[in-house]
Structure 1
Amino acid sequence: MSKKVVTREDLKSAAEEFKNWGKWGDDDEIGTLNYTSPEDIIKASQLVKKGKVISLALNFDNNGPQGAKSKYPSMGRINPVHTMLRTGTDAYSGVLDHRGIRASDDMVVMPLQCGTQWDGLGHIFYEDYMWNGYDCREVTSAGAQKCGIEKTKNKMVGRGVFLDLPKVKEKDALEDGYGITCKDLEEAADAHGVEVSRGDFVIVRTGQMETKLKEESWDGYPGGDAPGFSFETLEWIQDKQIAGLASDTWGCEVRPNESEEGINQPWHWITIPIMGLTMGEIFYLKELAEDCSEDNTYEFMFVAPALPITGAVGSPINPLAIK
């Protein structure tokens, strides 16, 4: 059976069906992060039983996925460029002793979405609009005047729920081009003994990143074919009222896209500007998968605040699962 092709009419219908504009007020700039309540955070803290902290981030260095070969353009992103401003060699030589202290210092130049990261609500537009109906021209060369990532700096903390799809399907990884369905998500939650609730942060493993790491090549990863969320999962996301969603792929949604020519990343068109969903990409999930399999616990306290870079439309992060 052939896959349904998402058309512009489908996008228009989805935009009307899943629109959250005005739900938290006409001046809202953080979208679904509003779903997480103070009580949710207190309950999430009570999930910590063994004091184990698991990072879900790749290291930020020149071995990252950007710039790898891909049949799709990856928007010119590069891996981080780390430069030393002062070094131990400088200290040893004494050239900076006139400062009265020996130290090192450094800097980094990087796209904010080159590694493990959040997509902010100023990242994707639906036609001429961004989240909550703001004009897309609110994002200028000076940054996002609305929905800048700094508006979220007290958020991205709550209950994390891990859905390990390859484990449930008894595979090492989902195949490139596999569209994750609502049924897949429900079956994984049932298999793991968890229920996705309002205000949760849902982390979904496809296994694609681990495949690339085993191959010791990122070719095909940035902008390439990938397993990911199908267009139909918009309904699941809206019904569950989750705060955020993340995965181990470059762009979360299935690639090749399920859309007609001229529409790139149709799921993004709806999730970010229409729903107001904060989305995480390039999450490293191998260690979390191993730990959850070992203790059969697929919920945890999740802490992953964005860097409050004023006007930014995304942010590098070091997400933590605390069990």
Structure 2
Amino acid sequence: MKRWTQRPEGSNWGDFGEDDELGRMNLVGPEQVRAGIATVTEGQTLCLSLPLDLPGGNLLNPRRYPPKLAPTELDGSQYVNFPLANLDPDLRDVISDDRVILYTQYSTQWDSLAHVGALFDADGDGTPEKVYYNGHRAETDVQGPGREGEASKANRLGIETLASHGVQGRAVLVDLASVFGMERTLVGYDKLQKALETTGVRIERGDMVVLRTGFSERVMEMNGKPDVDQLDKTGAVLDGHDPKLLQWITDSGIAALCADNYAVENPHPPAGATLKLPLHHHCLFKLGLPLAELWYLKDLATSLDALGRREFLLTAPPLRLPGALGSPVTPIATL
């Protein structure tokens, strides 16, 4: 059953099928994986994740807290440094086993397509509904809290869809920090084109585009004690309020946007704006184009500079956690 009678202007709803939950990652198939593998010349691997206890505290987002580790427990015993001789004197094993309380979008992460929706009149009856990519609905497809005995979760568009597809293929680094410096600069279409030309980036259909702003490097330097005022002045970040930039994202055929800053875009809208996160609206809600945040890209930029290139093989699967709205990720670049 078709879940909408009209789709948002500029969206691709239905283009990948009426039930599609994958969005622009449909463009990453065998050809793009082979293209990514073809970039590998050195056999060098680089971790693109922050330590997952960074940025530290909850000042960047008061809803999210650092991970908390604790031992697993059984019959009153905590299983860290636990000798099994306590259960059987003949056993010599010592067991350590833990659990974690983890906010899925606290640190280096993927957004699922259920992360941001909009009030939109998908039924064409004059009344906006809460809907997500491809017309998936709040409560039925993205289940909220409050149902007796049921937790909130994404019945559709959950992060497991991206995980089961696999996230591996050709990626390109756009080093905005090398062009505009480390201070806060809003990057619209014109500045992005300048950066692409200056750094010699060639973007192909199905590429995953990775943006270095320098933000996560400052986070690392702060060592778990983020200075929000300083971070608000850090990084050349995308200007989601530039319609030319949004149109470029549509026309470019890119499959994903990954960045080292919080929110990918500038999270502080101008006065009078009707969207706080217009890039999220355009990418997640309209195009089904996944976003990734708070990656660590300094070492990748240095290594690619030494090789005189910008493309690499990216492997970045999220957790296959059914119903999750986002996921931590440990991305790996292979050069």
The residue number in structure 2 matching 1:129 is 131
CA drift of 1:267 comes to 2.1
For the residues of structure 2 that align with 1:105 and 1:68, how far apart are their CA atoms?
Answer: 27
- 1:192 partner amino acid: T
Residue 136 of structure 1 aligns to a residue whose secondary structure is coil
Indicate whether 1:84 and 2:71 are aligned: yes
Aligned-residue Cα RMSD (Å) equals 2.3
- 2:169 partner amino acid: G
1:1-323 alignment runs, 5 A limit? 16-61=8-53, 64-69=54-59, 74-85=61-72, 86-88=79-81, 90-91=82-83, 94-97=85-88, 100=91, 101-127=93-119, 128-137=130-139, 138-140=141-143, 141-153=151-163, 154-169=165-180, 171=181, 173-175=182-184, 178-216=185-223, 217-220=225-228, 227-231=236-240, 232=242, 233-258=245-270, 260=272, 263-323=275-335
Q: 1:194–1:105: structure 2 CA closer, same or farther, 3 Å change rule?
A: same
For the residues of structure 2 that align with 1:95 and 1:131, how far apart are their CA atoms?
Answer: 53
CA drift of 1:222 comes to 11
CA drift of 1:214 comes to 2.6
The residue number in structure 2 matching 1:4 is none
Q: 1:42–1:262: structure 2 CA closer, same or farther, 3 Å change rule?
A: closer
TM score, norm. by length of structure 1: 0.85
For the residues of structure 1 that align with 2:157 and 2:226, how far apart are their CA atoms?
Answer: 31
> Does the Cα contact within 8 Å between 2:55 and 2:220 map onto a contact in 1?
no
- 1:268 partner amino acid: H
Structure 1 residues 11-31: Cα deviation after superposition (integer angstroms, max 9, x where no partner): xxxx84420100100000010
The structure that has the greater radius of gyration is: 2
CA drift of 1:83 comes to 1.4
CA drift of 1:68 comes to 4.1
Residue 264 of structure 2 aligns to a residue whose secondary structure is coil
CA drift of 1:145 comes to 1.0
For the residues of structure 1 that align with 2:239 and 2:178, how far apart are their CA atoms?
Answer: 19
For the residues of structure 1 that align with 2:110 and 2:220, how far apart are their CA atoms?
Answer: 21
Structure 1 residues 37-77: Cα deviation after superposition (integer angstroms, max 9, x where no partner): 2111112111111100011101223xx2253435xxx2511
For the residues of structure 1 that align with 2:31 and 2:208, how far apart are their CA atoms?
Answer: 15
CA drift of 1:213 comes to 2.7
Residue 171 of structure 2 aligns to a residue whose secondary structure is strand
For the residues of structure 2 that align with 1:134 and 1:19, how far apart are their CA atoms?
Answer: 14
For the residues of structure 2 that align with 1:184 and 1:251, how far apart are their CA atoms?
Answer: 19
For the residues of structure 2 that align with 1:221 and 1:289, how far apart are their CA atoms?
Answer: 26
Residue 276 of structure 2 aligns to a residue whose secondary structure is coil
Q: 1:99–1:33: structure 2 CA closer, same or farther, 3 Å change rule?
A: farther
CA drift of 1:183 comes to 2.4
Higher alpha-carbon deviation: 225-234 or 139-148: 225-234
CA drift of 1:270 comes to 1.9
Q: 1:95–1:39: structure 2 CA closer, same or farther, 3 Å change rule?
A: same
For the residues of structure 2 that align with 1:46 and 1:20, how far apart are their CA atoms?
Answer: 30
Residue 300 of structure 1 aligns to a residue whose secondary structure is strand
Q: 1:38–1:97: structure 2 CA closer, same or farther, 3 Å change rule?
A: same
Identity %: 31
Q: 1:206–1:96: structure 2 CA closer, same or farther, 3 Å change rule?
A: farther
CA drift of 1:109 comes to 0.8
The residue number in structure 2 matching 1:9 is none
Higher alpha-carbon deviation: 122-131 or 15-24: 15-24
For the residues of structure 2 that align with 1:275 and 1:286, how far apart are their CA atoms?
Answer: 29
- 1:149 partner amino acid: I
Structure 1 residues 117-167: Cα deviation after superposition (integer angstroms, max 9, x where no partner): 000000101111101011122211341111111111222111010011121
- 2:209 partner amino acid: V
- 1:255 partner amino acid: P
The residue number in structure 2 matching 1:3 is none
CA drift of 1:78 comes to 0.5
> Does the Cα contact within 8 Å between 2:174 and 2:201 map onto a contact in 1?
no
Gaps of 5+ in 2: 1-6, 73-78, 120-129, 144-150
The residue number in structure 2 matching 1:12 is none
Aligned length: 298
For the residues of structure 2 that align with 1:133 and 1:66, how far apart are their CA atoms?
Answer: 36
